[in-house]
């Protein structure tokens, strides 16, 4: 008896070698420049924070912790965008940003062979505008200091995300890294393995992974996908896993709506089916 097809059976991934060859000298030069600029901006921010009298240990600690949570969410949002939309053939973005996501699904161990520049360059590049904004914030009071520290902490953790991600794929991470993974202070391998089950449509957050369960509970990413498909007509993950699997996954997501959405649809349907109130034709005296 033939086993029924699953969505994982329909997944059609791209060639790993072809994707790896997309890492060009121009992209590497851009990543090196991004790392240098990022380090310079973060150093300037630390100097500004150190020089102001509005800082305090509790304020800075809160900024670092909230920045960590924000970075985890941002990592999931960017990861979802890179996995779900666009094509490796897009100008600039295709080779520099989308290609690494596609390669990682085909060869998840490739990241363990990347050096520091290839691992972290992209994240430094996308963090530069926020880094510049953090440095530009006027430190005229505790609120402004908190904002600058929060932004600086968030992009520091965003920069570190791919390093944490790389460590989660190592067969034998260093002892300290393994301990941090076991206590779930950085991304644990078992937690991240959920994402690497085809069709790669869950657990996108890869800084620490704390935000994965809450976002899954509220169906955050499926709802975003429906909104974008409604607005653009684009099919999620079509370039990554193939048209057949992408269509099958959309059908499954449509069948798994949040109860509140199902209830809202039923109310709208019932409202539409209610007969219109009769209008009296009796003349007014």
Q: What is the DSSP string of 126-166?
A: HHHHHHHHHHHS--SSHHHHHHHHHHHHHHHHHHHHHHHHH
**158 is in which domain, residue-wise?**
12-216
The residue-averaged pLDDT of 173-185 equals 96
For residue 126, which of 86, 79, 65, 84 has the smallest C-alpha distance? 79
- Cα angle vertex 216, ends 211, 221, to 5°? 95
CA distance 124 to 159: 6
Is 267 a member of any domain? Answer: no
Q: Is 84 left (phi over 0), alpha (psi -120 to 50) or beta?
A: alpha
Residue linked to tokens 């901006």: 41
Is 275 a member of any domain? Answer: no
pLDDT tens string 26-68? 888 999 999 999 999 999 999 999 988 777 788 889 999 999 9
Is 271 a member of any domain? Answer: no
pTM: 0.77
Number of domains in the chain: 1
CB 215 within 8 A of CB 80: no
CB 103 within 8 A of CB 16: yes
Is 240 a member of any domain? Answer: no
Residues 6+ positions from 33 with CB-CB distance below 8 Å: none
Between 73-87, 107-121, 235-249, the lowest mean confidence (pLDDT) is in 235-249
How would you write 5-16 as a 3-class SS string?
A: CCHHHHCCCCCH
Is 233 a member of any domain? Answer: no
pLDDT tens string 205-239? 999 999 999 999 999 999 999 999 899 888 887 77
Is 46 a member of any domain? Answer: yes
Is 260 a member of any domain? Answer: no
Is 276 a member of any domain? Answer: no
CA distance 20 to 119: 13
Q: What is the dihedral of CA 184, 211, 39, 108, to 10 degrees?
A: 70
């Amino acid at each position: 008896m033939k086993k029924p097809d699953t969505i994982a059976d329909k997944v059609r991934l791209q060639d790993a070698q072809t994707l790896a060859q997309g890492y060009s000298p121009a992209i590497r030069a851009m990543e090196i420049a991004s790392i240098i600029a990022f380090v310079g901006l973060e150093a300037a921010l630390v100097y500004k924070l150190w020089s102001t009298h509005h800082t305090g240990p509790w304020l800075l600690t809160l900024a670092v912790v909230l920045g960590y949570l924000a970075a985890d969410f941002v990592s999931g949002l960017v990861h979802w965008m890179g996995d779900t939309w666009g094509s490796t053939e897009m100008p600039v973005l295709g080779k520099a940003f989308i290609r690494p996501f596609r390669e990682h699904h085909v060869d998840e161990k490739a990241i363990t062979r990347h050096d520091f520049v290839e691992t972290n360059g992209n994240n430094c590049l996308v963090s530069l505008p926020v880094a510049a904004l953090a440095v530009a914030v006027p430190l005229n009071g505790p609120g402004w200091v908190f904002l600058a520290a929060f932004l600086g902490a968030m992009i520091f953790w965003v920069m570190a995300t791919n390093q944490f991600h790389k460590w989660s794929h190592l067969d034998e991470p260093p002892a300290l890294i393994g301990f941090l993974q076991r206590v779930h202070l950085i991304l644990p391998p078992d937690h991240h393995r959920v994402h690497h089950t085809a069709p790669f449509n869950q657990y996108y957050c890869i800084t620490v992974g704390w935000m994965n369960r809450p976002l899954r509970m509220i169906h955050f990413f499926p709802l975003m996908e429906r909104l974008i498909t409604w607005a653009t007509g684009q099919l999620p993950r079509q370039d990554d896993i193939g048209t057949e699997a992408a269509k099958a996954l959309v059908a499954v997501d449509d069948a798994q709506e949040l109860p509140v959405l199902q209830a809202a649809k039923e109310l709208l349907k019932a409202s539409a089916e209610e007969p219109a109130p009769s209008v009296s034709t009796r003349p007014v005296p």
